Amino acid sequence: MAADIDLHNLDLTGDAEIQNDVFLIAFNSGDGRVFDSLYREDAISNLSGKPLNGAERKQAIIDFLATGPSLKSSIKRSYTAGDTSLVVVDFDLEIPGENGERIKLHGTCTDVLRLGEDGKWLMAIDRPVADELPTA
């Protein structure tokens, strides 16, 4: 992606491919506050392995992204009905292991986005599910 992207002014838009690109930019920046800015205040994320919202969700995202994971994803399906969008992606996630090795996870993520009154799309539900146990 372009080097001139303003991480503090990201916009998910109504296009699923652009949503995916923006999501990846924010995630791979390593800045949990930037990534969390793509979520509604009342959003639920299962990124930590259990459903979290509010301050607990935000802190879990900040802590997780501080470890230096890397994410790739591609759209499998997307559906939009009015102010609600369902996006299903396949993902490949690498996370650092305790001994510095990279642990690889592959899975499917189901995301629900909502269009706010301000015209911005934000994540309402983020539910990644790994296909199998991690491999180093």
What percentage of the chain has pLDDT greater than the value 70? 94
Q: In this structure, is residue 9 part of a structural domain?
A: no
pTM of structure = 0.89
CATH code for position 78: 3.10.450.50
Tens-binned pLDDT, residue by residue, of the chain (136 aa): 444 678 888 988 899 999 999 999 999 999 999 999 999 999 999 988 899 999 999 999 999 999 999 999 999 999 999 999 999 999 999 999 989 899 999 999 999 999 999 999 999 999 988 877 666 5
Residue 136 lies in a domain: no
Domain ranges, residue 120: 16-130
Neighbours of 115 (CB within 10 A): 16
As a whole number of angstroms, the distance between CA 38 and CA 55 comes to 14
Containing 63, the helix (H) or strand (E) segment is helix 54-65
Q: Provide the 3-class DSSP secondary structure of residue 12.
A: coil
**8 A C-beta contact, residue 88 and residue 77:** yes
Q: How many domains does the chain have?
A: 1
- The answer to whether position 66 is within a domain reads yes
